[in-house]
Amino acid sequence: MIDFKMTKEGLILLVRDYESLEEVLEQLGVRISQMSGFFAKGDKIMLMIENSEKHAPDMPKIVAAIRNSGLEISQILVGSAVGENVNVSGRMKMVEEGDTKSGTKVVKKNLRSGQALVHPGDVIVVGNVHAGAEIMAGGSIAVFGHVKGILRAGLNEGEQAIIAVLSMQPTLIQIAGHILREVGSYDEPVVAYVKDNRVVIDKVKDVKFG
């Protein structure tokens, strides 16, 4: 289920298609521990998860487990492996920014096409999220800018998470297990949240907090 593949571009940690996230996390710890003599703390590897769209909600937990083992992820690859051959059909460069003391990740720049921001907690972006960029957050997401990419929130926290954006025309929005593909366009601040088992988007001025 968990393999390391050496390619001309570098080392890829391959997570084959799976049914149990718990089993994946357990095997990750075992395989990285077995390779401990090969790695130094902070070494960067590439990550490929087969059937990545299906397993996108698990990404923050998988990335967090790898980081907790002392490794960093440089890129998330899209593709598959047949035997010893790794077929890469797409790639997203991981956005590297430090966390605050509360564990919230704050990014003060635009996320461009081909960039991915993955974090197990809350995410704040001060900038725009361009088409082709993606945020995967275990908690809530706040973007002080315009969004055209993909936003996935509540992947750890669940339906209590929200997405707050100044303006957006996103490709897709997800909160926990609820996905909204036809979002529409909003040119003023909005909040997306789960209500009655679906993602609802309201203008900030219409939302009653508390």
Residue 99: per-residue pLDDT: 62
Give the model's confidence band at 44: pLDDT under 50 very low, under 70 low, under 90 confident, else very high. Answer: very high
Give the model's confidence band at 10: pLDDT under 50 very low, under 70 low, under 90 confident, else very high. Answer: confident
Residue 102: per-residue pLDDT: 64
Residue 160, C-beta contacts closer than 8 angstroms, at least 6 positions apart:
154
8 A C-beta contact, residue 137 and residue 60: yes
DSSP state at residue 37: T
Q: In the predicted model, what is the mean pLDDT of the chain? A: 91
Residue 208: per-residue pLDDT: 66
The residue ranking higher by pLDDT, 208 or 172, is 172
CA gap 155, 136 in Å, rounded: 7
| pLDDT tens profile 66-83 | 999 999 999 999 888 777
| pLDDT tens profile 92-123 | 999 976 665 568 999 999 999 999 999 999 99
Residue 36: per-residue pLDDT: 80
Distances (CA, A) of 190 to 31, 55, 193: 43, 27, 10
CA gap 174, 80 in Å, rounded: 24
Q: Reply yes or no on whether the pLDDT at 19 is more than 60.
A: yes
CA gap 134, 137 in Å, rounded: 10
Residue 209: per-residue pLDDT: 57
CA gap 194, 113 in Å, rounded: 27
